[in-house]
Structure 1
Amino acid sequence: MTASDERLRHAALPNGLRIVARRLPGRGAVGVAVNYRAGFRGEPEGRSGMAHLFEHLMFQGSAGFGAGGHFGYVQRLGGTVSGNTFTDISDFHQVVPAGNERRVLEMEADRMQHLILDQERLDVQRRVVLEEINLKVRGAPYGGFPWTVLPRAVYSGWHNAHNGYGDEADLMEITVQECRDFYASAYAPGNAVVAVAGDVDPGRLVDEAVEVFGGLDDRGTPKPPPLDETPGTSPRTHHHRDALAPRPALAIGRPLPAPSDIDRYAAFVVASMWLTGNDHSPLRRALDARGVPCASVCGLFGPWLAAEPDTFTFVAHHDPGGRNAVVDLFDEACERLAATGDDGIGPARRQAHVSLLAQQDSVLGETRALARSELLFGDPGLVRRAMLATATVPATHVHAAARELADHRGRGYAELTTEGQA
């Protein structure tokens, strides 16, 4: 129990699994999220796409449930179920009417210990993943841009820089034995967190989860791959050709402070909101006047969704020859923010705060935040505290963030060119 929140309970099992439960009264529903430290950066080198492929395989049957059985059972309860693969996390989550959470825990424990992996399942899901890549990346304008390409401009190490969706050659070489080895380590209890939030008694829920998961084998806790990198002294550029894109695009990225350094990281979240968060944001207005849509975000998928290093991302879709003007306007806006007073930063603070809390203001959002907060940072409350911190981050921190964003050292560029460009 934490001193600050009597509705929160947590436990660590001898097999390494961590369990977190929080009561959210009056919701009538319960969220269950199982997060594994098995995202893109946890893939074996030379096996890009394995983490995403494994997300699919986790729904293809375990000892107690056939292929699709997990989906079917949760839906028959009146619930919803899904999974996502991110930079450092594979996230499996469901929401069910209150009172059904134990059965969901039992299904999650079954596939954590008894997932069925064979050649037929691998072949089918490999085809599904390759078709998804063909549809969403190769077959769509700006498909996967910038998150599949920007990391190679920002980072040099394979785990940080590679395309997490996966290269076809890598995916085709994955064997059943490699899948079994990946499952044995990356999907071990010691590499996972189970989080439950909603209309539950946290103490009872933790006791039940201990019963359900306590008998699972201790398969150890894999050591995360080395991710630390020294930022370069000069910017790097990665060129990407997109035959379907109607106009060029530019993405700018740079490493962020450690997500656990809440105030510094929150300052970049506020800076991003100030730059492009709404129609009145200075950088968005300047680029809109040139017919150039833009957006920025902390993290490739959102703030506090990855371990260190995380990536600030800015994207603009411009006319041919407009790349340098975009960079100049980005730099000018950052310099302007570095000189903006507290009153001028206030609206961005408030919008960042409200926007982040709105994303979490549900049983599912709270549950997933609990899981990743404990898994990535060893603190189930860090993500929520971080979101709250955006409302109060000092202007001096935002100024420092703006100066870092304006500094070209350590910056990466992903330049998307169209079929007709030289």
Structure 2
Amino acid sequence: MKSRLLSAVAALALLSAAPVMAQTPSPAPASIEVPPLGFVKRTLPNGMDVYTSRDTSTSNVTVQVWYRVGGKDDPEGRSGFAHLFEHLMFKATKDFPDETFDRLTEDVGGNNNAFTSDDVTAYHETIPANHLERLIFAEASRLGSLVVNEDVFESERDVVKEEYRQGVLAQPYGRLFSLFVPATIYQESPYRRGVIGSLENLDAATIEDVRRFHATYYRPDNAFLIVAGNFDQAQLDGWIDRYLAPIPNPERPLPVNNVVEPEPTGPRELTFHAPNVALPAVVLAWPTVAYRDPDRIPLTVLDGILSTGESSRLYRSLVYEQQLAAQASSSPDFVQQAGYMSAYAIMAGGKTPDEGIAALRAEIARFRDEPVTDAELAEAKNELVADALRSRETIDDRANVLGFALIQTNDASVADREIAEIQAVTAADIQRVARRYLTDQRGVTIRYLNADDANPVSEQVTDVTAPVTVADLAPVGEILTLLPEAERAPLPEIAAAVSPATPPVADFRLDNGLRVLVVEKEGLPLVSARLSFDAGQADEAPGKAGVASMTAALLTQGTTTRSAPEIATEIEQLGASIGAGAGADFSNVSANAPANVFPQAVALMADLVRNPTFAEEELDRQRTQTLDGLRIALTTPGQVAAQAAGRVVYGEAPYGAPASGTLTTLPAITRADIAAFHAARYRPSEATLVFSGDIDEMDARALAQSAFGDWTAPATAAPAATAPAGEPRPTRIVVIDQPGAGQAAVTVALRGVSRTDADYFPLTLGNTLLGGSFTSRLNQEIRIKRGLSYGTRSSLGVRRDDGLFTASAQTRNDAAAEVADLILAEVTRLSTTQPTASEITTRQAILTGAFGNQLETVDGLGGLVAGLALYDLPMSELSAYVSNVEAVDGAAVEAAFAEHLPVDRASLVIVGDAAQFIDALRARHPDVEVIALSDLNLDSAALK
């Protein structure tokens, strides 16, 4: 289902739609009572609005500050400025040095992040509740006394450039959606500039500009503070009054920024070209309304009917029936001053942009020409209501819902009214807004094609006027520096900890051998089910890579009682999320639904698993879609590197083949292959079913028995997987040359360990130190110190057999060799020196904090329980997790890395424009292999 940020209301009822097939209709579900967001508001004397909501069911607290400044407020010639400044806000203040925010959050088991969009820059932290006072102090410090020096400014600007290269230039459709779509739709509004800006505008920025930007927009009356979680209200109010209330509000008014976007004067068509576009794309777009306009609501419901889920009009028509598109969707974008609706299609192989444009126009015309059906209307509302329910599952979620409503409308009550307004939308409302806004005369048509000699790459337009200029910004004022340590305001003391509680797990088996685990979670009326099988990549026959994934994908594409369209419609009528997927060792079928319709969701889930038909026509469709997706993936450096790394480490062994299959194996998979894989591997005696959420053991037992109790296993035993990791292989240095790549992807890969290895916890903690968090060593060396990457990461990659350890980063092409050296050096350091005691303590906090966060959602909790069951680990490991992490010391980490992940066993894969780095790499690694991307063969261990 399409993800949406949608507010919820005090009471909501899922609408029941007419069944799409001849079955006994279920009784109408009872309404779900959802409590209001329940935030309390007060305004400080300096103009800052504060919203708080107490929740003692969690051991955490979230602190969010939403500033009313975004991409639209970037000065002329300085696009990307608000986003650049977001990065700088994590640096020093007069009272604490750079990276202190990470120390105050990640190092104690929390997390922090921020985002910038057209209208807002928002900062959010979640921490154990006993650290709340420190976060209030820190937020006040960076609002009132931020330090910006030249070195930090230049380093973070380089980081943002790498973010631009990674998200815009290195992605095949990055330019289209980040740059060309907004620049084409809007004619006068500052929204026509991409939020991330341009390399030229970023280079033009000066440190004085940055300081003036902070003085202009970072002020108490331009911010909302939101705090939710486990706290004492009086105590919190006192901290806010102590730290935030004294910050003065400037008398200078904010720059005027209220551009009225003109009405379209006629249709427009444009064509753009970009490198490495494997399949052409088309976009239709129409200017619509700002967020607070009442027509936003029927347009939102229209969008749900158009493209949410596989029963939507776009998927059903363009992808499923006509098979014109590999992907087709739509997006409503409503912001403070304007808005638009867009629909797009990435064409299937061999299909033309003109075919896509005609098909999109036909689907839009249907909204204008005839009312939507009652069933479609009910289904869209159900999905929106269920998504709203999921959007308030955690304290972070609820704060986000509130913050978004406040930024767009300055009215907190919007968050508690929206679902009632959606429920009131009629078919006539939808037809009215379609006729008003989605007309051919108002439309913009975009074609996005691969660049070649005749059609060079389309350049981003950077010379764009804006209502705010650099001259409009406030004077710099006092330039602050980090005070000597003795003069800094001390950090507040830490209060007594609030420990997370792990719920008990009920564990039983049905008579047919199906293991059932139940973990109840009070709170929202949501329930999750996860059914897992020993059926993964490890079980595929040679030359059949992709069978496990294809089998899982086809489960939702037809049973003996339901067609694929009927399944999609039924899922979406329930407001449920039901899907399936396969990994290295296991396949999982999952369902998440509101509690009042959860039994129907499980009954449907059981039919998908037990009675699939694997129709030839559905296999053909799924194969075509997968091949189109693979062609797109093979133009993206990071995805190519990930697939090649598996072959380098595992060779011809089952783990070595790409899990989704290859351009060669997918066409060779037959219906008989799929049916045989399902018959052999999908059986109750080898399966585990996990229920989590608003369900108790008695109800879960009855539901499991009803759905799966009469399912009998085949008489023959399931075949055993044979050495899926194969024998260890020699190390390799491989470059895959992709001329014109926007970035280089650098991956260090080693054969790792199984999940049940005795060194799992030391290796997990060491991996977190290496590249598992923002404060990791890799990120410190590559991003923070040198600005060479937007982000680095490492993964232990455990499996049943030896896993795949990777450490990776994307960087500009000419820095690929340097980044490779930095990654290898950090892997070496972990296996040759002990981490310090403080590093161990902070990594332990990060792991236990992430564990606590996972306990907060029904899917996260169910995933933890399922993970233990799949690897035959006792359920007692759930409650023992924290103590297992805390038992690890520095010596254990060093010893585990030295034994299992020594750098002399490491291979290196780099995908990018080799001409820009091959000489430097060859000087370090004379034995490097260079393979042209056009010659890459993922069926072979040799890769060619």
When the two structures are superposed, what TM-score results if normalisation uses the length of structure 1? 0.90
Larger CA deviation: 398-407 vs 40-49: 398-407
Alignment map for 1:109-124 (pairs within 5 Å):
109-124=140-155
CA pair 233-131 structure 1, distance change in 2 beyond 3 A? same
Confirm or deny: 8 A CA contact 1:35 1:89 kept in the other structure.
Answer: yes
Confirm or deny: 8 A CA contact 2:61 2:395 kept in the other structure.
Answer: yes
**Letter of the 2:102 counterpart:** F
Confirm or deny: 8 A CA contact 2:189 2:259 kept in the other structure.
Answer: no
Instruction: Give the deviation of 1:224 after TM superposition.
Output: 4.9
Larger CA deviation: 60-69 vs 393-402: 393-402
Instruction: Give the deviation of 1:321 after TM superposition.
Output: 6.8
Confirm or deny: 8 A CA contact 1:29 1:198 kept in the other structure.
Answer: yes
Alignment correspondent of 1:156: 187
Note if 1:410 corresponds to 2:442. Answer: yes
Note if 1:214 corresponds to 2:248. Answer: no
Alignment correspondent of 2:344: 315
Note if 1:198 corresponds to 2:229. Answer: yes
**Letter of the 2:342 counterpart:** T
Alignment correspondent of 2:411: 379
CA pair 7-164 structure 1, distance change in 2 beyond 3 A? closer
Alignment correspondent of 1:345: 377
Alignment map for 1:10-409 (pairs within 5 Å):
10-157=41-188, 159-202=190-233, 205-220=236-251, 221-262=253-294, 264-288=295-319, 289-292=322-325, 293-299=327-333, 306-318=335-347, 322-337=352-367, 338-387=370-419, 389-404=421-436, 406-409=438-441
Confirm or deny: 8 A CA contact 2:291 2:408 kept in the other structure.
Answer: no
Instruction: Structure 2 unaligned segments of length 5 or more: list them.
Output: 1-34, 456-944
Confirm or deny: 8 A CA contact 2:116 2:195 kept in the other structure.
Answer: no
Larger CA deviation: 196-205 vs 122-131: 196-205
- Identity percentage over the alignment? 23
- Structure 1 CA distance for aligned equivalents of residues 37 and 86 of structure 2: 34
Instruction: Give the deviation of 1:419 after TM superposition.
Output: 2.0
Instruction: Give the deviation of 1:6 after TM superposition.
Output: 9.6
Confirm or deny: 8 A CA contact 1:30 1:199 kept in the other structure.
Answer: yes
**Letter of the 1:397 counterpart:** D
Confirm or deny: 8 A CA contact 1:146 1:315 kept in the other structure.
Answer: no
Q: Deviations over 1:215-246 (max 9, x none)?
A: 11212451451232122121234433211110
- Structure 2 CA distance for aligned equivalents of residues 230 and 333 of structure 1: 26
- Structure 2 CA distance for aligned equivalents of residues 30 and 340 of structure 1: 44
Confirm or deny: 8 A CA contact 2:62 2:396 kept in the other structure.
Answer: yes
Q: Deviations over 1:136-187 (max 9, x none)?
A: 2112211243132211211112512112211111111101111011000111
**Letter of the 1:77 counterpart:** V
How well do the aligned residues superpose, as a CA RMSD in angstroms? 2.4
Confirm or deny: 8 A CA contact 2:104 2:134 kept in the other structure.
Answer: no
* SS of equivalent residue, structure 2 residue 417: helix
Confirm or deny: 8 A CA contact 1:276 1:296 kept in the other structure.
Answer: yes
- Structure 2 CA distance for aligned equivalents of residues 340 and 154 of structure 1: 27
- Structure 1 CA distance for aligned equivalents of residues 434 and 345 of structure 2: 18
Instruction: Structure 1 unaligned segments of length 5 or more: list them.
Output: none
Confirm or deny: 8 A CA contact 1:242 1:418 kept in the other structure.
Answer: yes
- Structure 1 CA distance for aligned equivalents of residues 114 and 148 of structure 2: 18
* SS of equivalent residue, structure 1 residue 215: coil
- Structure 1 CA distance for aligned equivalents of residues 449 and 436 of structure 2: 27
- Structure 2 CA distance for aligned equivalents of residues 270 and 20 of structure 1: 29
Larger CA deviation: 53-62 vs 10-19: 10-19
Instruction: Give the deviation of 1:10 after TM superposition.
Output: 1.2
Larger CA deviation: 175-184 vs 188-197: 188-197
Instruction: Give the deviation of 1:126 after TM superposition.
Output: 0.9
- Structure 2 CA distance for aligned equivalents of residues 370 and 154 of structure 1: 28
* SS of equivalent residue, structure 2 residue 114: strand
**Structure 1 moving runs of 4+ over 6 Å:** none
- Structure 1 CA distance for aligned equivalents of residues 398 and 298 of structure 2: 23
**Letter of the 1:329 counterpart:** A
**Letter of the 2:286 counterpart:** R
CA pair 175-355 structure 1, distance change in 2 beyond 3 A? same
* SS of equivalent residue, structure 2 residue 448: strand
- Structure 2 CA distance for aligned equivalents of residues 229 and 317 of structure 1: 29
* SS of equivalent residue, structure 2 residue 385: helix
Confirm or deny: 8 A CA contact 2:79 2:193 kept in the other structure.
Answer: yes
CA pair 236-105 structure 1, distance change in 2 beyond 3 A? farther
* SS of equivalent residue, structure 2 residue 177: coil
**Letter of the 1:36 counterpart:** Y
* SS of equivalent residue, structure 2 residue 271: strand
Confirm or deny: 8 A CA contact 1:20 1:206 kept in the other structure.
Answer: no
- Structure 2 CA distance for aligned equivalents of residues 210 and 168 of structure 1: 41
Q: Deviations over 1:343-393 (max 9, x none)?
A: 331101111221243233221121122223223311123134325533442
Instruction: Give the deviation of 1:407 after TM superposition.
Output: 0.6
- Structure 2 CA distance for aligned equivalents of residues 117 and 155 of structure 1: 34
Larger CA deviation: 266-275 vs 367-376: 367-376
State which structure, 1 or 2, has the greater radius of gyration over its C-alpha atoms. 2
* SS of equivalent residue, structure 1 residue 297: strand
**Letter of the 2:399 counterpart:** T
Confirm or deny: 8 A CA contact 2:188 2:259 kept in the other structure.
Answer: yes
- Structure 2 CA distance for aligned equivalents of residues 42 and 118 of structure 1: 23
Q: Which has the higher contact order (CA 8 A, sep 6+)?
A: 1
Confirm or deny: 8 A CA contact 1:155 1:161 kept in the other structure.
Answer: yes
- Structure 2 CA distance for aligned equivalents of residues 206 and 9 of structure 1: 11
- Structure 2 CA distance for aligned equivalents of residues 34 and 6 of structure 1: 17
Instruction: Give the deviation of 1:203 after TM superposition.
Output: 6.0
Confirm or deny: 8 A CA contact 1:15 1:214 kept in the other structure.
Answer: yes
Instruction: Give the deviation of 1:198 after TM superposition.
Output: 2.3
